[in-house]
Amino acid sequence: MIQFAKIIGLFSLAGTIVPPVLFALHMIPLEPVKSSMFVSTVVWLITAPMWMKTE
């Protein structure tokens, strides 16, 4: 479960970095950037505590 949360968390971090870069390069419009960043942020906030907690 922890490994799965790490993988999903890393993909969600990529989802907060890649869309603004694509927008800056005029490859995608602003609305998809906002949506993908919102979803990625929510996913990150859900998965990060799962694998970052210390025991």
pLDDT at residue number 51 = 81
pLDDT at 5 over 90: no
Interval 28-53 mean pLDDT: 92
pLDDT at 18: 96
Q: What is the mean pLDDT of residues 10-34?
A: 95
Distances (CA, A) of 11 to 2, 26, 55: 14, 22, 24
Q: How far apart are CA 15 and CA 33, in angstroms?
A: 9
Query: What proportion of the chain, given as a percentage, has pLDDT over 90?
Result: 73
Report the chain's terminal Cα–Cα distance, integer Å.
15
- Asked if residue 44 has pLDDT above 90, the reply is yes
Residue 55's pLDDT band (cuts 50, 70, 90): low
